Amino acid sequence: MSKRQDTIVPKAGEVDRITSVRVVTVLHKLETAITFGTWVMRHREFALVGIDSESGLRGFAYCLTRDGPLAALVARTIAPLYVSRSVDDPSGAFHGALWANNAVHAAGLGMRAMSVVDVAAWDLAAKSAGRNMTEFLGGKRVAMPVTGIVGYPPSISPAATVDQIAELWTRGWRRFKLPIAPTPDGSIARLRAAREAFPDAWLGVDNNFFSKTAVDAIAFGRRLDGLELGWFEDIVPPGDAGMVAEVRAAIETPVAMGDEQGGSYHPEALLAANAIDVLRVDATTNGGITRLRPIVGRAVAAGVRVAPHMFPHIHSQVLAGLGQTDAPIEWGVPGTGVHPMDDSLAQPVVRDGLMDPLSDSPGLGVLVDPAWIATQQISDPDGLLEDL
């Protein structure tokens, strides 16, 4: 696009404004389907958002669509409200769009769409200021703890899971999180094998909303006793903080919840119910960077730890910017289907459980690999990929 080639530098005192918000939908077919009870994933679908400015700069962000029509929602109810907004006021643009349609934007897919656009707007603002995201938000770039997401696909054996951990362990990783296996017995077998092979490792388990009642979650949670797990995550579907609190009170393993809620009452409901030990956050669903700062503030005030959900290239830089440098950053093992949009981007350098800061680049750095995207199934109605 010509504006990418002929960048216009605003004169002193002039305001750089947003000219477009576009979305590409990227569908990656999984070699092995991922099954968590009734939740079956045969692909991972992402929405890549690009926000252009008059000066020719562009901000990016991406999120999981969870098979919702996110691109259509952005085009109809969000993008028109961002066009002509000042590049240096992402928070103002977010609230302007939020308050224009509270019924749709306050929760669910609406909040997810708002969130990913907000992250792209902050990327654009930081690039406009010529600063990396961490320092733009007022933080310092330091080494941060990392968690390797292992045990994918969830159908792999305990031995194969241990092999994944062993390979990461030799490269300096010390924290590992497993998803549940197709059966509770299989889950326990994989966790027990991991604990026996690596007695000093931090291990966590993601229930992926498999349990639908407190009784079922408690029954499985009690089977985790003795494994010394760091947390039991996503124990029941979001929406009932009282149920989460009931489970937490009945088991020994710490409870972590929150990354897929995407609603305006996150995290108040969980904190008010005293339901969690760890608040899971996700800038791509919980309200972008604009809402992440007050969310983190509420958790800190309540004495609750914060840990982000995936999107390491975003969360490592944003959480460091918000002073949460002890928050463990999650990375999937490339090629296992955990988070394929990340696989071809920069990977972490890990030393004794800590990752070095990512490249010191304006904004969030490189979030797009056009060559990888070109090999996937894509829908690009507004021609964003043509400009990359």
pLDDT single digits (tens) 110-152: 999 999 999 999 999 999 999 999 999 999 999 999 999 999 9
What are the structural domains, with CATH classification, of the chain? 2-130+367-387 (3.30.390.10), 135-355 (3.20.20.120)
Residue 6 confidence (pLDDT) above 60? no
Q: Tokens for 101?
A: 């349609």
Unique residue bearing structure tokens 């609406």: 110
Q: Based on DSSP, count helices (H) and strands (E) in the chain, helices before strands.
A: 16, 14
Average the pLDDT over 178-194 and give the result: 97
* pLDDT per residue as tens digits for the range 212-247: 999 999 999 999 999 999 999 999 999 899 999 999
Bridge partners of 175, per DSSP, are: 202
In the predicted structure, residue 264 carries a pLDDT above the cut 90: no
Report cis status (omega within 30 of 0) of the bond before 362. no
Cβ-defined contacts of 130-136 (< 8 Å, 24+): 130/362, 131/362, 132/317, 132/360, 132/361, 132/362, 132/363, 132/365, 133/317, 133/318, 133/321, 133/363, 133/364, 134/317, 134/318, 134/320, 134/321, 134/357, 135/321, 136/321, 136/363
pLDDT at 206 over 80: yes
Residue 331: what are its φ and ψ, rounded to 5°?
A: -130, 135
pLDDT digits (tens, 9 = 90+) for 324-343: 999 999 999 999 999 999 99
Backbone angles phi, psi at 72, to 5 degrees: -65, -40
Please report the pLDDT score of residue 4 as a whole number: 40
Rounded Cα distance between 290 and 288, Å, is 5
Give the C-alpha separation, 308 to 1, whole Å.
35
What are the backbone angles phi and psi of residue 171, rounded to the nearest 5°?
Answer: -100, 10
Residue 10 has a pLDDT of: 58
**Cα gap 244→255, rounded to integer Å:** 8
3-class SS of residue 180: coil
CA distance 245 to 312: 28
Predicted local distance difference test score (pLDDT) of residue 383: 96
Q: How far apart are CA 200 and CA 370, in angstroms?
A: 40
Amino acid letter for position 51: I
Sign of CA dihedral 39, 41, 42, 46: positive
How many residues belong to the chain? 388
Go through 184-219 and write b for each residue having 16 or more CB atoms within 10 A of its CB, e for each that does not: eebbbebbebbbebbeebbbbbbbbbbbeebebbbe
**Would you place residue 263 in the very low, low, confident or very high pLDDT band (cuts 50, 70, 90)?**
confident
Which residue type does 326 have? Answer: D
Q: Which residues contact 141 (CB under 8 A, 6 or more apart)?
A: 132, 134, 135, 320, 357, 360
The closest alpha carbon to 283, from 304, 264, 309, belongs to 309
Other Cβ atoms within 10 Å of 15 Cβ, number:
12
Query: Of 233, 249, 55, 262, which Cα lies nearest the Cα of 149?
Result: 233
Instruction: Give the phi and the psi of residue 257 in degrees, each rounded to 5.
Output: -150, 155
What letter does residue 356 receive in the DSSP assignment? P
Report yes or no: 215 and 243 within 8 Å, Cβ to Cβ. no
The pLDDT of residue 1 is above 50? no
Which residue bears the tokens 């909040």? 111
Q: Tens digits of per-residue pLDDT, 56-114?
A: 999 999 999 999 999 999 999 999 999 999 999 999 999 999 999 999 999 999 999 99
**Average pLDDT rounded to a whole number, residues 279-283:** 97
